Structure 1
């Protein structure tokens, strides 16, 4: 199996934008991180555990988390190959989060395919999510290329990341369970920062910089950049689910409304729309009728909530880019990370 340095070196025309970076390396990096999924000592362990998890992870999306971990490592002058186990750990955490999230949400599709709990059954899907979680810290601790002090720093980051994500998920699920419609935009930002921004932005970048030997200032600059852009990523993801297309989301279009998700668009509309009662009625009904879901979107557009969320994400990324440019030395890797912010907010344009 090629290592990340060989993968990068094997590309004749290196990508100059973040979108090109993902397109160029996603498949090979996906294969690289999936090398860390073990095999069972009994054939039925593979049948009921390892093989379905491997297949699920192969349908792995754009792999932006491991790729930004590698970019951060290189941006501070480090050897990307040393970051491979950590990049894989974060990606497997993402897999675990998706499996468990789809169970909690009673979702049907993930990346255009039936969810794991529907194809393999609830019990086995929970078990596979648990296995993916076990790969997070173990992958790093078993890496002979990392010294003990670095392992402790990285695993501490991963432990804190896991707790914060679970905290955010608790808010997200709890608000839906209790029919909470008093949630403010400020509440949403706390939830989304914990649930998504740490593990989708801040921690991959911070860990990449730690392994790359970055200074404390560089590590924190990249962490803060990841927090801001990770939050913008979640806001844009929510927007894509409402006003994108089924092709762009590769999951149930507008299923956030069916599940009653308290997104930034929704909570803003709940505070500002004259049709608040009708919106609550739709959000409470597990509605799947496309016409009714379109009505909910129209209510949110009329209240300015879609524009509000889009502007919030764009402002976050604009400020974050300027801070990163001030704190990290110029390099192609830094340019890719700056481009990441633009990609996050341009996915609807």
Structure 2
């Protein structure tokens, strides 16, 4: 497979569809309720930029320029997309976000189904249960797909050790985020820690490690990939934080200012609260985590921009990306991977608003 992002995305989607179809056949004896859950799994793994799969692919290619079993490696990279889908399903429920990629989030879709069919009990509770269980199912499948990808067992064993750590980091990072929001804390260093463990590491650094482990990487190569992947992952998530406030809903698939209505205490918000005047900071803090109309979203965006926080985050993205690219140039990896990873770094950090 030559390097073409669209080709890799298509291959990963095909691997995911094949895997979920296989699970559907296994669960068919459970009847229509299980079928509804599996259909929602299909929706959860559809679309997206497939950055995690791409970084896993190029983590492998950083060590081994030739891929002897491309289909097996694609299945391995797709396991990271199942992990990502699991995190998104759970995240949407925890954040009370009803939209994902322009479609109803899992908890919202199942809650609506409950209401439409006139079932007894709480539609919200039913939707919550469906989201928890679907997220758990996708998380379980992510491990299964990597174990059964078809690459040599010793290499898969090493990759699974990285994958185990990755899942623990994501879950603990998510709980840290929930706890920070519950306490209403807005500290830049703490927000960076949340960013690092909830998203940055599992988005880029750990996928690189999984791919490299599948190729038999030595510790020095793993460390070199961290020097590139961790700052790039942080830049990637900082870009996401900007999009969560200033992004175009047609591009993001989320309502305008969604991070504000969800009350996310991101680095962007923490910097704005530090840099704004007392009255503006109070208004921003009071607006977080409550329903906002278009005018209110525009007002809080103006507060953030006037505080200098958006410009500060852009500077941080540039500095982190530069550090990552400098580490990439020094890394002991294949030239083919170095070139592709440069392109991926640009795609991950310079996404359109």
Query: RMSD in angstroms over aligned alpha carbons?
Result: 1.9
- Structure 2 equivalent of residue 34 of structure 1: 17
1:283 and 2:270 are equivalent in the alignment: no
- Structure 2 equivalent of residue 187 of structure 1: 190
For 2:147 and 2:15, the matched residues in 1 are separated by: 18
For 2:351 and 2:85, the matched residues in 1 are separated by: 22
For 2:43 and 2:282, the matched residues in 1 are separated by: 43
| Aligned equivalent of 1:44, options 13, 29, 32 | 32
- Structure 1 equivalent of residue 151 of structure 2: 145
For 1:176 and 1:296, the matched residues in 2 are separated by: 18
- Structure 1 equivalent of residue 118 of structure 2: none
Q: TM-score, normalised by structure 2?
A: 0.87
Match runs of 1:111-130 below 5 Å:
111-120=101-110, 121-130=127-136
For 2:297 and 2:171, the matched residues in 1 are separated by: 29
1:95 and 2:78 are equivalent in the alignment: no
Unaligned runs of 5+ in 2: 111-126
**How far is 1:138 from its partner?**
2.1
Runs of 4+ with deviation above 6 angstroms: none
**How far is 1:336 from its partner?**
1.4
- Structure 2 equivalent of residue 218 of structure 1: 221
**How far is 1:128 from its partner?**
1.1
Aligned-partner SS, 1:124: helix
- Structure 1 equivalent of residue 181 of structure 2: 176
**How far is 1:144 from its partner?**
4.1
- Structure 2 equivalent of residue 57 of structure 1: 45
1:196 and 2:199 are equivalent in the alignment: yes
Per-residue CA deviations over 1:93-121 (Å, capped at 9, x if unaligned) read 10110000001011111000011111122
For 1:288 and 1:106, the matched residues in 2 are separated by: 14
- Conserved? CA contact 1:34–1:88, under 8 Å: no
- Structure 2 equivalent of residue 324 of structure 1: 328
1:135 and 2:141 are equivalent in the alignment: yes
1:68 and 2:55 are equivalent in the alignment: yes
Unaligned runs of 5+ in 1: 1-7, 16-20
Q: TM-score, normalised by structure 1?
A: 0.88
For 1:215 and 1:119, the matched residues in 2 are separated by: 45
Aligned length: 327
- Conserved? CA contact 2:268–2:309, under 8 Å: yes
- Conserved? CA contact 2:155–2:215, under 8 Å: no
- Conserved? CA contact 2:62–2:337, under 8 Å: yes
Worse-superposed segment, 70-79 or 110-119: 70-79
Per-residue CA deviations over 1:50-103 (Å, capped at 9, x if unaligned) read 222113212x21111112211221222152444334312211010110000001
